[in-house]
Structure 1
Amino acid sequence: MADALELDALWEDFHRAVNMTSAELAAWLRVRDADEDTEPLPEASGSPTGQHVLAILQKRRTDLTDDDVRVMHRVVRTVEELADPENEPAPQSSPEDTRRRRRLMTLGHDPLKP
């Protein structure tokens, strides 16, 4: 596990990158996996990473595991790469912008959210 200062910095970076609340992310994961006839159980919806992000959002810093820290690093790195301000979707989004936004939202980051 990272030392206390590294963990504090990662915690801040993670919560800056993940700008959706746990309720918003849980709802997005359910909607994303729903189809016309069914909606998955909340704990079975979304990608494993999306579910892990949701679990981290519901934890205290002191309860983080080594696996949580690895996921947090990966999420921060991915959000930084994909959420570059130059890549922000225009008001009339292209399909590529829509896919990028959905991928980011699965990680808890909505690029359209201030």
Structure 2
Amino acid sequence: MSRNDDPQQTYREFTEAVNMKPGELSTWLETEESKQVGWHKGGKSGGGESVGHESGRRIIDLLRRKRADLSDADYSHMRKVIGYVHRHLAQRPSGDVRDTKWRWSLMNWGHDPLKG
């Protein structure tokens, strides 16, 4: 078992990467800003829900579940979230990021870079 497959490690890294509460994330996902960023499975203008938006809904579900009820697929999604947040943070643009698609995209994945 690699370090990445350790459920406790994954859970800890997930809860560090996701700094938005389920209610906050749920409210955010209803906004126009949330819906206009991200990659869509059918291509950029393929319509439908973006991958990040879909992930945000799943993150809310994961945060609201008991740890004992999490499946291997749940831990796999947590690792995907951790990877996305870490990669995206490394690409931070310069200047004020408050109203940027970069921030909005991260928020779809449960991470608000403006939170301490």
Q: Return the offset for 1:30.
A: 1.1
Bigger fraction of residues in helix: 1
Task: Call closer, same or farther: CA 1:65–1:111 in 2, change over 3 Å.
Answer: same
- Please list the CA deviations of residues 18-76 of structure 1 after superposition, one character each: whole Å capped at 9, or x if unmatched: 0001111000001234xxxxxxxxxx9x8221111110010111111122111100000
Identity of aligned residues (%): 31
Aligned match of 1:72: 78
- Structure 2 residues without counterparts, runs of 5 or longer: 36-48
Letter in 1 for 2:7: L
1:1-114 maps to which residues of 2 (within 5 A)?
A: 6-31=6-31, 32-33=34-35, 47-84=53-90, 87=92, 90-91=95-96, 93=97, 98-114=100-116
Q: Structure 2 length as normaliser, TM-score? A: 0.72
CA RMSD of aligned residues (A): 2.7
How many pairs does the alignment contain?
97
Q: Structure 1 length as normaliser, TM-score? A: 0.73
